[in-house]
Amino acid sequence: MLRYHEIIRPVANDSFFEQTVDLWLGFSSGHMGPHMYQHHNGVRGEQPMSGVLTWEKHAELGTIPTQSRKIFAEKINDVSGAIDEKLPIVEFGPGSMEDANLLINSIESKEYIPVDCSLGILHQAHTLAASVNDCAIRPAVVDFFSEDNCSLVEDPAIGVLLGLTIDNIPGPVPKGLPQRELINAFRNLIKSIPAGGYLLVSTDICQDGEQNKELYNEPWHKLFGVNHIYRMSEELPMANFDPEGFEYFPVWHEHCSLLAHTVRATKDQTFGMGESGEIIVSVKAGDIFHYNNSFKYRPEFFEQCAEMAGLRLIEKWQGESTISLYLFSFDSQTGDYTRHVAPFASYSNSHLYEPGCANALANIQKKLRGY
């Protein structure tokens, strides 16, 4: 029997507006990742600029996503042979759910939890529920790069972070290698699985700055890279703002192995933000705004940080490209976060994403977490 349960989501807030203000005023940088993957109605001419749609095109045609899918498809049987059978799966940033089918079938899992901030992406779990047999699908709307992850599953499980998402740790350009940030990211991911288990994660080790910039300058990624600018124009209170005045512009920082995703202004403009236009932003042609990260960790650094986070390397697979696939194990954990086990609620598909339902769930979650 197919089952579909949604894990109660965290409280919605005004973070998109606030973090957009911080981006344009230079108060924060490298922090817009969760906002990149949302569905919205912004357009460039007749081109839909939705974060979900532009990401799907990049995922389908881009060189890096293609290479990432290839090594995963080639090694999934090796992965399933190296872990316990029929483990629950917690997949962070599930994307199109294509990987989920392979994961569920290979591991013979009875429980699959896709974790993401984007309702548009998680809505695809409905389709997944119809294509797998006897597997409970339990989406969780969570920012898994936050520092306060709650438990998502009570039993030992395998956490999965594909698509090089571990490379997208948020924050400004660091002065050196992001050791503390990567260790904290590993620790926060496994908080979701307090009973212990495994973590499967992919990363890109390429240290060639020009090659990295060329790969991210592919046309489909350039569209995805500015989609949030059109979302700002569509959804936020902004006056005299022209989203056409920016272009995607990758910047390589060799000292910390970071490909910084930025937008560069192509013209001067002054615009207001807020209901009364009370926040005034002036932009000059050539100004650069850093909104997201793609770190390219060297293998020895990546493995050392994983070990310091409490992970044990089981296996590493290197494909024909610069993309590596790692399988780690980790022990059960203790800590205050284990008491915040995300509850489950079952609904018919027709009202999973109605605003009223979302607000009610948010209020419950707020009380459970003591906010």
Mean pLDDT score across all residues of the chain? 86
Distance CA 37, CA 224 (A): 9
Could you report the per-residue pLDDT of 163-175, keeping only the tens digit for each? 999 999 999 999 9
The Cα 12–Cα 37 span in angstroms is: 16
Amino acid at 211: Q
Residue 158 corresponds to which tokens in the numbers above? 């395998």
Highest mean pLDDT among 112-126, 136-150, 332-346: 136-150
Instruction: Report the distance separating Cα 192 and Cα 89, nearest Å.
Output: 11
Q: What are phi and psi of 331, to 5 degrees?
A: -85, 170
Q: Measure the CA–CA gap between 251 and 229, rounded to whole angstroms.
A: 18
Domains of the chain: 32-59+209-295 (no CATH), 62-205+297-368 (3.40.50.150)
Q: Which of 14-28, 82-96, 214-228, 327-341 comes out lowest in average pLDDT?
A: 327-341
* pLDDT at position 120: 65
Cβ proximity of 144 and 201 under 8 Å: no
d(CA 348, CA 351): 6
In this predicted structure, the answer to whether residue 17 has a pLDDT above a threshold of 60 is: yes
CB 163 within 8 A of CB 91: no
pLDDT at position 14 is 60
Single out the residue of 272, 283, 277, 324 nearest to residue 67, CA to CA: 324
Q: What is the pTM of this model?
A: 0.84
At 190, phi and psi to the nearest 5? Answer: -75, -10
Whole-number Å distance between alpha carbons of 138 and 361: 15
Distance, CA of 158 to CA of 84 (rounded, Å) = 9
Torsion sign (Cα): 348, 10, 91, 40: positive
- Bridge partners of 151? 341
Residue 139 — pLDDT band, cuts 50, 70, 90?
A: confident
- Mean pLDDT for the stretch of residues 140-159: 87
Name the nearest CA neighbour of 204 among 315, 293, 297: 297
Instruction: For residue 95, give the DSSP letter.
Output: T
